[in-house]
Amino acid sequence: MKKYTEIQDIPNIQDAIKEAILLKMDPFEYKELGKNKTLVMLFFNASLRTRLSTEKAAKNLGMDVMSLNVNEAWQLEFDDGTIMDANTSEHVKEAAQVISQYADVIAVRAFPSLKDKAKDQSEYILKSFEKYATVPIINMESATAHPLQALADAITITELTEKKVPKVVLSWAPHPKALPQAVANSFATMMQEMDVEFVITHPEGYELDPEITKNVPIVYDQKEAMRNADFVYVKNWSNFKEYGQVLNTNPSWMMTQEKLGNAKFMHCLPVRRNVVVEDAVLDSEQSVVIKQANNRTFAAQVVLKNILESL
x/- site string to ligand CP, residues 8 to 47, per CB under 6 A? ---------------------------------------x
CB of 268 to ligand CP, least distance (A): 4
Using the rule CB under 6 A, is 88 a contact of ligand CP? no
- Report 217-276 residues binding ligand CP (CB under 6 A): 268-270
- Report 40-59 residues binding ligand CP (CB under 6 A): 47-50
C-alpha 118, offset from chain centre: 20
Give the span between the Cα atoms of 124 and 74, in whole angstroms.
18
CB of 267 to ligand CP, least distance (A): 9
CB closer to ligand CP out of 59 and 167? 59
CB of 182 to ligand CP, least distance (A): 9
Q: Contact, 269 vs 49, CB < 8 A?
A: yes
CB closer to ligand CP out of 9 and 141? 141
Using the rule CB under 6 A, is 149 a contact of ligand CP? yes
Give the span between the Cα atoms of 217 and 34, in whole angstroms.
42
- CA angle, 167 as apex, 161 and 169 as ends, to 5°? 110
Q: How far is CA 215 from CA 63, 123, 188, 210, in A?
A: 41, 24, 11, 8
* DSSP category for residue 138: E
- Report 192-211 residues binding ligand CP (CB under 6 A): none
210: how many CB neighbours lie within 10 A of its CB? 11
Which residues sit at the interface with ligand CP, rule CB under 6 A?
A: 47-50, 141, 149, 268-270
